[in-house]
Amino acid sequence: MRQGARSSVLNGRVSELEQVVRARRSIRLFHADRPVPRADVLAALDLASRAPSNSNTQPWHLVLASGSARERLVAALVEASRHREPAIPPLPAEFERMKYALGEQLYGSMGIERDDADSRRKAQRLNWRFYNAPLAGIVCMHRELHHVDSLGVGMFLQTLLLGLTARGLGTCVQMLIAGFPDVIREALDIPEHYEILCGLAIGHPVEDFPSNNLAIPRKPVDECVVFHDD
């Protein structure tokens, strides 16, 4: 292939990649009755397995539940949430404001007022049902590994999200799910040597649900990146 033709092909691929990255969003309501094609999930997992990792440890471990296994997990999470709060580390004050800003945007899109505690609790309960997604995931890492290895898990997860997005599927990474690790272990028989990092909802988005179509702001690049040229 001539250099010019190769460059044209690569530019086309970059453009397609950018479209997928920009199309990905956190979905908070799925069609419960639309199954997720196993072939699409396997293809996206195969793509995600190409993610880099420290010493090629490939530290990711993903447990996926559908059907009765998913319902067992959901029932256990719902029951646990009735009796105690999830064990989630608090955010430092300078980052907590971003959490509140996101919550205001999400609840606002659903017409839920700031002081409407009942409606907020009702919306939050969808977390434990994986927002009705028919495929529920639990992302894990061997607990003897360290933060440098969690970078590999993150790159695997992001690649998986993009692979699923490219196949017309929606996703949502759920940190709150990890607040009940004991419940999850028992429901899905996950060994103790795996640390539970987060949940993952996979399914077909309800396109007209307001919070599925939000433009969530991002920090400007120059606020997060420093270039040194001298």
Provide the β-strand partners of residue 208.
none
Q: What is the residue extent of each domain of the chain?
A: 26-86+128-210
Q: Name which of 136, 166, 204, 153 is nearest 43 in CA terms.
A: 166
What pLDDT, on a 0 to 100 scale, did the predictor assign at position 7? 58
Report how far apart, in Å, the C-alpha atoms of 222 and of each of 95, 96, 173, 225, 227 are.
Answer: 18, 21, 26, 5, 9
What pLDDT, on a 0 to 100 scale, did the predictor assign at position 187? 97
Are 179 and 172 spatial neighbours (Cβ–Cβ below 8 Å)? no
Rounded CA-CA distance 107/182 in Å is 29
Residue whose token pair is 């969808």:
126
What pLDDT, on a 0 to 100 scale, did the predictor assign at position 99? 80
Decide which of 3.40.109.10, 3.30.70.2660, 3.40.140.10, 3.40.50.720 is the CATH code for 26-86+128-210: 3.40.109.10
DSSP 56: G
Give me the average pLDDT of each 10-residue run along the chain (230 residues): 56 83 94 97 98 96 98 97 90 84 79 76 86 98 94 97 98 96 97 97 95 89 93
